[in-house]
Amino acid sequence: MKSKRNRITKWSILGVIALVVSIGYLFGTGNFASAEQTILVEEDFDNLEGMMPEGWSVIQGQASIEKGKLKLSSPSSSSPARVLVPLPDKNGNIIFEADMTFVSAVEDTRWASLMYRVQSTDYPYYQFAIRRGTTALNGAEFAERNAQNKWVVPEATFFTEKFEYNKPYRIKIIASNNRVQQFINNKLVINTDQATGLLNGDIGFQANGSTVLFDNVKVSTFDQELPPIENAGAFLPQEPETNIINAPTLIGQTLTAAESSNTASVLLEVEQNGAGELITNGMPLHEALAKVQNKHIPILQIETNGIESAIVDSLDAAQTTDIHIVSSHPEIVKTITNLMPTARGGIVYTKNSFNKHDLNELVRTVHANNAKVALIPEKLLDAKNVHYMHTRMVAVWGVGAEDESSAHALIHTGADGIITDNPAASIEALGKYPANTIVKRPIVAAHRGVPSLAPENTLVGYRLAYELGADQIETDLHLTKDGHVIVMHDTTVNRTTNGTGAVSDLTLDEIRQLDAGIKFSEEFAGEKVPTFKEFLQEFKGKDVILLVELKAIGIEEQVIREIEEEGMVDQVVLQSFDLGSMIDSFKLRPEIPVGYLYSAAVPATSSAKIKNAQKMMDYGTSHNVTLNASYGSTYEEFITYMRQRGMLTMHWTFRAEEPFRDKLAQGLIGPITDYMQWLTDSPTKLETPIKKINLKMGKTSTIQTKAFVNYRTAKKENIASELFIVEDNGVVTLNGNTIEAISPGTAQVFVKHTFTMLGTEWNVVGEPIEVIVKE
């Protein structure tokens, strides 16, 4: 039994007392702020067995005080339970908090809530609604019961932990005019400015299809301002202008470097001083976080074990959620991201070698430790190993670019980010490319093979996809009646074979008797439905990744076992529309990357688009999955948000050229398509014939502009290209293939090749030729 108090409810007549409120984010300092607040309600329900506190009323359903707690019982969604608590001061600017415990729920979609700004004795009102299944995308809501007695839900999100039964969670609301912040266990989950219609009123509690306990209720006035919503954490930092499609994001290697050139992100090396304070860039961490807030995305590099909890506490106090944690010690990344699941992870690579074994080990280490990014020195990177990691869903941030020449070299590796102490050099380099320049090779997944040219999900179709240069080959898996994993998209064999029936009702022998090619064309008569093992064996050791979609639920263990038996852990990526399936797969074999397939509406406004991108990024990160949305669910802000924060994504299913072209132009990196042939003859890289030319003033140099161009099919040929310079700096001029030296200095001259893909002209560009002019 808790300690007894001599009163039922503490009202404002007790006067103004000093409270210490954890609202450092409000001031951008990360410190605790002390403020004079008035306590309006404080109740722990002791000595109230069977009796409601004075003034509290049950306005609907069943509610009682039992064993020192307020208990609300609702047998169904049509019979909610509600308790109303009148406030002596109905000013709606309050802090409202309570412990909430689910005892039972009809299903995971059922919920309980803290109501606030309740009008009259019923509705309208706002509420912080929390579903029993809090990990769903609508697990936590800012909702309104409007004047028409209808639900409106302006904002919904998830919590990183599914609420357990009989476990209390601390729920808190801070409301200030139209601004509201809603917290679970002191973690900010909803931050909105949409509380515009109701500005005052009472509070209450509600249960809907659940039995819930409330305790330790506290309401106090809040007389400060919450920060403007534009400073609420969901933002796209400014980036330098460039014509490169899907250009690398810039990361300042220090706070000074980030501020000098306004990079998208900043690397902050954090350590703990003798006094136990977290320090970075010569200042306390909370000051650095406040300094970069809504300007740069912070990336914390932690190399000291034992400070993980302190890091998370500091981030929570500053309400910094848009954060990357990187380290050369994978266990540090894993520990922090387990403590703070929305924190993104990255592994700092420190070895001097970078062979295929090293690549595989790095990819495994990244995925197994809740990360999606590898930080690698520039000297170890080239286009081949960057693409190798991309196909295995690892983003690459290259460290270097000390001058413009090395910046160009790093850009041409296809790296997703450039970490540099001299961002001005990279900004200069990024500005020198022609329109529609492709540097980073898109990860193209052949959807069910090439169903536009061959029967889907057959070995003949898969072989054709490989011959056409697919980076990944996508397939679908079901389980037969006798427990064999086979390749099939539908739950039945009706559409793609000459048979009928559900896959789950047919044995493997029965399915093997079917013809999977005849319905497509007589040319493919006799094609069989492959087993998963046959699919794996066909491509074992070949330069292609298998993108495997689990259609059936509960087959995760068997699928992973068959992958392991074939020794192909490094050659498979898993995905599913069932998030639980991917969570289970990750637990079984975390080295295998997993993706969540989904489709969703595109928000209407730019700010809503960015906020939605933030929510989805946090959702994917907290479950260690990539966000493999339908391409119609994506939009430019989403694509940019993911790129800036190091998440590679695959998107389905392109069957028309126009959207394919438009999404590639926006920077989409992972198209899944039925038409692999549309990209087969598109070049992936241009190799410059010459690296440097020395000229004296007034002299000329005519060069052969034939360069080697590389295609997806491993074909390489010498092809006519052209020279260009982006701007006239007075050092050289071009006349066709002739470079003329005008004045002393250095200039970059590029070789480019223009090609047509998806009905549009694109450019591949070689690394620049450095022309040095002397007197």
Q: Which residues pair with 451 in a beta bridge?
A: none
Distance from C-alpha of 102 to C-alpha of 111, rounded to nearest angstrom: 9
Question: How many CB atoms sit inside 10 A of residue 200's CB?
Answer: 16
Type of residue at 436: N
Type of residue at 269: E
Tokens 């490989």, residue located: 466
Angle at 8 between CA 5 and CA 12, to 5 degrees: 100
Distance from C-alpha of 192 to C-alpha of 104, rounded to nearest angstrom: 30
Distance from C-alpha of 235 to C-alpha of 697, rounded to nearest angstrom: 49
Distance from C-alpha of 365 to C-alpha of 333, rounded to nearest angstrom: 11
Q: Could you check whether the bond before residue 228 is cis, i.e. omega within 30 degrees of 0?
A: no
Angle at 597 between CA 602 and CA 542, to 5 degrees: 130
Tokens 């109905």, residue located: 90
Question: How many CB atoms sit inside 10 A of residue 542's CB?
Answer: 11
Distance from C-alpha of 430 to C-alpha of 249, rounded to nearest angstrom: 10
Angle at 53 between CA 49 and CA 55, to 5 degrees: 150
From 447, 478, 623, 651, the catalytic residue: 447
Is there a contact between 667 and 409 (Cβ–Cβ < 8 Å)? no
Question: How many CB atoms sit inside 10 A of residue 34's CB?
Answer: 11
Catalytic, 489? Answer yes
Residue-by-residue DSSP string for 204-247: EEEEESEEEEEEEEEEEE--SPPPPGGGSS----------EETP
Question: What is the H or E stretch that residue 741 is in?
Answer: strand 738-741
Distance from C-alpha of 135 to C-alpha of 186, rounded to nearest angstrom: 17
Dihedral-angle region of residue 201 (phi above 0 means left; psi in -120 to 50 means alpha; beta otherwise): left
End-to-end distance of the chain based on CA atoms, in angstroms? 92
Q: Could you check whether the bond before residue 154 is cis, i.e. omega within 30 degrees of 0?
A: no
Number of H helices, E strands in the chain: 18, 48
Within 304-429, strands assigned E span 324-327, 344-348, 373-377, 395-399, 417-420
* Dihedral sign (CA 113, 115, 120, 123): negative
Angle at 417 between CA 413 and CA 419, to 5 degrees: 105
From 489, 623, 651, 753, the catalytic residue: 489
Q: How many CA atoms lie within 13 A of 769 on its CB side?
A: 29
Active site residues: 447, 489
